[in-house]
Amino acid sequence: MTVTENPGILELILAVGATTRRESIRNIRPAALDQDLYDIGLAIANLLTDTLSDIRRVSTKVYAA
């Protein structure tokens, strides 16, 4: 079985009053370090007026026999 990891997504979950909003950055390289993505997410959140609730990395893999 061959496993191929696709480019991922960096999601920022922001609190906007009583609701939440998601902002996504696509085409994150699979080899990107979690700490680097966290630092980027914090840097972007510091430029916004909304409160950062969470930073998530979303990755997908393709399994082929």
For the whole model, what pTM was predicted?
A: 0.83
Residue 65: the pLDDT is: 84
| Segment 11-59, tens digit of pLDDT | 999 999 899 999 999 999 999 999 999 999 999 999 999 999 999 999 9
Q: Which residues pair with 29 in a beta bridge?
A: none
In this prediction, residue 1 has a pLDDT band, given cuts at 50, 70 and 90, of confident
Domains identified in the chain, total number: 1
Sign of the C-alpha dihedral computed for residues 17, 20, 21 and 26 taken in this order:
positive
